[in-house]
Amino acid sequence: MKRLFVAIDISSEARQRALEYTTELAGSFPKLKVRWVSPEKLHLTLKFLRNTKEESAGPLTAALSAIAARQHQFQISLTGTGTFPDNAGSRVLWLGVANIDELQKIASEIEAECLKLGFESEHRNFNPHLTIARIREPRSAGELAAKHLSNNFEAAAFKVRELALYESRLLPSGPIYNKIGVFPLTAS
């Protein structure tokens, strides 16, 4: 069994902007127990597949390849800030995504194909975001969440050129992501 997810990688420029933002924010709250997402792990998750049997990999790869072949490359932007949940007990800090019509279309197609392949349905509405931090002690991080929500993250636009399939392994030191498939958006 492999723990898999489908994602979009962000551009180097967007990755750098996110790093500058998180470095400044983390510097303002050095004593809080927060796991900041390292720049190389930043991605936009389209579908989390959970534990996947080895025999599902072939049909999944074929489905992702077909979906990507039907899609044009398109531009999105990282902009805005948010938390999950949206109240005082925030556990996740994230950056928002603008220009999401194409992203939502692809996520819907991935969801439909995954259902056909026997994967679990996603029970939450698709809410594209870039997770930048996980708060270990939410009760003591109210000021951090408030500062993050009051910040204005300046838009970082980039072109989406491909889908990626990742394997995620959970370790005590944090997750390790291994890219196991790339599916270029090739519609003309």
Q: What is the 3-state secondary structure (H, E, C) of the chain?
A: CEEEEEEEECCHHHHHHHHHHHHHHHHHCCCCCEEECCHHHCEEEEEEEEEECHHHHHHHHHHHHHHHHCCCCEEEEEEEEEEECCCCCCCEEEEEEECCHHHHHHHHHHHHHHHHCCCCCCCCCCCCEEEEEEECCHHHCHHHHHHHHHCCCCCEEEEECEEEEEEEEEECCEEEEEEEEEEECCCC
Enzyme catalytic residues: 43, 129
